[in-house]
Amino acid sequence: MIFSRHSKITIIILCMVILSFVVLTHKPCFSAEQAAQNDLRKAASVKNKQSNDKKNHKVVVYYFHGNYRCFSCTRIEQMTLIAVGEAFETEIKNGLLEMKTVNVENQKNRHFIEEYQLYTKSVIVSDRAGGKEVRWKNLQRIWELFRNDEVFKTYIQKEIATYLEG
């Protein structure tokens, strides 16, 4: 069988089109073992990132007061300390949670008044990541709840738990 010059060109073009089609539609084939290894690498990467995020994540609970401390103010501080201590002992030991009592009338602490827009004694929950504050909340209901120990503790603990979850 003798091919004419014209038919040889047609065959070459046809082969090139078929070869191009095969190359463009070919999907790399991985073995099940390679796919499993890739999944493990991805899972380890996500776990490391989450672990680093948790290491860098910390919640600070502040009780801010002034020089004059009335019965109500002292009671709010005590109940806050109890609520935090009872519910978050493990988080405190692991460094995920810290409780600080701060006198804002001391010159070195006056910046908190502006930062947290303080106008009275307050409990603030601060969410920190990578050493920087991400968000915060003034737990203003402390003044309406401080006469009921259980309701007060539940309120404080729920708010802190929300911040610990991130």
pLDDT digits (tens, 9 = 90+) for 1-37: 455 566 677 667 766 666 665 555 555 544 555 555 5
Decide: helix, strand or coil at residue 67: coil
pLDDT given at position 52:
45
- Residue 70 — left, alpha, or beta (φ > 0 → left; ψ -120 to 50 → alpha)? beta
Identity of the residue numbered 125: V
Residues contacting 54, CB < 8 A, separation 6+: 96
pLDDT given at position 48:
41
pLDDT given at position 166:
75
Residue with tokens 């203003």: 140
Low-confidence stretches of the chain (pLDDT beneath 50):
1, 29-30, 43-53
